């Protein structure tokens, strides 16, 4: 029997707009540390033979040492992942990480460079298609490589279980947009064993879904791990999804056209949606004059008072140009917003003020 735990798309990052700085680090990193602990706990409880990270562990090809350490420490409970000088732990669980597209910065084959540091931390990182046998079960690992290489590997090992990180045409980005650049579905249907992938964060056919929410595009996804069990004849006898809790993301919209009652209703909805501990995005749609007249400061404070973990404000002009504020200073005013945006864009403030004029023309 072989039991495998799969998770994907952790997207560890030092700067995360969904977090606040707490005890000297981004609160989302603290959230993700808890996520890793939960994965380890499930792996031990379920007595799996292999934990496999299906990619996009990091956002880039060269993550900082802090992130690499956080990851390695997160899986210390599994003895295949041990840091230099740290003793191995009791459960004998294999650990494999498959490289995702975010970790190659879009350069095909670039993953091979990352192997240098990843091997140093004592676990296997798959940077090119590779077949391995685990207790008699044939597994084909496919990281982010060109479509041709994905297809070549699939054809070379037609009987293997496929664990990887690549796109399939027609797959759902989660925003309603469909994959148009991945491999064709025909290459994976009619295989003897399942194909389970990371990449798209929304759980769907072939994709296990992300372990946590990376941005507001993920606000409606479920987060969790997949556990697959194969019998001695290598037949899949059980597959279950175990939810792993992640902080919720709530979007609240304020439209210039909507009534006061509607705005109050929005607030109530947010509260009943458990705004406590959540990451809130207040989205304003209207003219700049209207936005200036809104008591954004009090609204932001209101959410922090309820216990929101982070409140993000964005203002959407009538011409639908989105100007987003990452950090909200509760003392800010609209002119400050313009000047902040101008600084960020390295532009003269007067260019920013054109937005004001533009909006007043509407
Ligand atoms: Mn991803």
pLDDT at position 60: 86
Determine the distance separating the centroid of ligand 1 and the alpha carbon of 58, expressed in angstroms. Answer: 9
Determine the distance separating the centroid of ligand 1 and the alpha carbon of 288, expressed in angstroms. Answer: 35
All domains of the chain in start order, with CATH? 2-243 (3.60.21.10), 249-361 (no CATH)
pLDDT at position 106: 65
Determine the distance separating the centroid of ligand 1 and the alpha carbon of 182, expressed in angstroms. Answer: 14
Determine the distance separating the centroid of ligand 1 and the alpha carbon of 115, expressed in angstroms. Answer: 19
Q: Which helix (H) or strand (E) holds 95?
A: strand 94-98
Determine the distance separating the centroid of ligand 1 and the alpha carbon of 7, expressed in angstroms. Answer: 11
Determine the distance separating the centroid of ligand 1 and the alpha carbon of 184, expressed in angstroms. Answer: 20
pLDDT at position 306: 85
Determine the distance separating the centroid of ligand 1 and the alpha carbon of 221, expressed in angstroms. Answer: 13
Determine the distance separating the centroid of ligand 1 and the alpha carbon of 2, expressed in angstroms. Answer: 27
Q: In angstroms, rounded to a whole number, what is the distance separating the alpha carbons of residues 256 and 273?
A: 23
Q: Are strands 130-134 and 124-126 parallel, antiparallel or unpaired?
A: unpaired
Q: In angstroms, rounded to a whole number, what is the distance separating the alpha carbons of residues 249 and 202?
A: 15
pLDDT at position 360: 39
Determine the distance separating the centroid of ligand 1 and the alpha carbon of 14, expressed in angstroms. Answer: 16
Determine the distance separating the centroid of ligand 1 and the alpha carbon of 56, expressed in angstroms. Answer: 5
Q: Is the pTM of this model over 0.75?
A: yes
β-bridge mates for residue 25, sequence order: 22
Determine the distance separating the centroid of ligand 1 and the alpha carbon of 102, expressed in angstroms. Answer: 7
pLDDT at position 30: 96
Determine the distance separating the centroid of ligand 1 and the alpha carbon of 31, expressed in angstroms. Answer: 17
pLDDT at position 343: 64
Between helix 27-45 and helix 65-74 the angle, nearest 10°, is: 30
Residues of the chain with confidence (pLDDT) below 50: 81-90, 113, 115-121, 320-321, 328-330, 332, 351-362
Determine the distance separating the centroid of ligand 1 and the alpha carbon of 54, expressed in angstroms. Answer: 10
Determine the distance separating the centroid of ligand 1 and the alpha carbon of 348, expressed in angstroms. Answer: 35
Determine the distance separating the centroid of ligand 1 and the alpha carbon of 346, expressed in angstroms. Answer: 30
Determine the distance separating the centroid of ligand 1 and the alpha carbon of 44, expressed in angstroms. Answer: 25
Between helix 349-361 and helix 334-344 the angle, nearest 10°, is: 130
User: How buried is residue 260: exposed, middle or buried, by Cβ count under 10 Å (0-12/13-18/19+)?
Assistant: exposed
């Amino acid at each position: 029997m072989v039991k495998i735990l799969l998770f994907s798309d952790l997207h560890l990052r030092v700067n995360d707009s969904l977090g606040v700085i707490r005890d000297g680090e981004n609160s989302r990193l603290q959230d993700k540390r808890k996520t890793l602990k939960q994965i380890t706990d499930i792996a031990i409880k379920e007595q799996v033979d292999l934990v496999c990270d299906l990619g996009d562990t990091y956002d880039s090809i060269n993550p900082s040492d802090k992130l690499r350490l956080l990851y390695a420490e997160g899986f210390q409970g599994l003895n295949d992942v041990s840091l230099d000088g740290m003793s191995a732990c009791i459960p004998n669980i294999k650990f494999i990480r498959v490289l995702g597209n975010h970790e190659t910065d879009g350069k095909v084959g670039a993953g091979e460079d990352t192997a240098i540091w990843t091997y140093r931390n004592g676990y296997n990182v798959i940077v090119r298609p590779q077949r391995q046998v685990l207790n008699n079960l044939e597994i084909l690992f496919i990281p982010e490589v060109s479509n041709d290489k994905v297809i070549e590997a699939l054809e070379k090992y037609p009987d293997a279980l496929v664990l990887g990180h690549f796109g399939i045409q027609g797959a759902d980005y989660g925003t309603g947009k469909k994959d148009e650049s991945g491999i064709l579905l025909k290459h994976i249907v009619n295989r003897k064993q399942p194909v389970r992938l990371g990449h798209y964060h929304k759980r769907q056919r072939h994709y296990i879904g992300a372990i946590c929410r990376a941005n507001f595009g993920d606000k409606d996804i479920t987060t969790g791990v997949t556990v697959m069990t194969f019998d001695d004849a290598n037949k899949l006898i059980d597959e279950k999804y175990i939810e792993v809790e992640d902080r919720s993301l709530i979007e609240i919209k304020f439209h210039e056209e909507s009534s006061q009652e509607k705005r109050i209703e929005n607030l109530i909805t947010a509260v009943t949606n458990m705004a406590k501990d959540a990451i809130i995005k207040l989205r304003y749609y209207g003219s700049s004059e209207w936005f200036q007249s809104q008591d954004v400061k009090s609204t932001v404070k209101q959410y922090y008072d309820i216990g929101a973990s982070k409140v993000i404000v964005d203002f959407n002009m009538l011409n639908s140009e989105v100007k987003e504020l990452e950090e909200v200073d509760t003392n800010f005013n609209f002119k400050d917003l313009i000047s902040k945006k101008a600084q960020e864009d390295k532009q003269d403030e007067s260019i920013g003020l054109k937005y004001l004029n533009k909006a007043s023309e509407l």
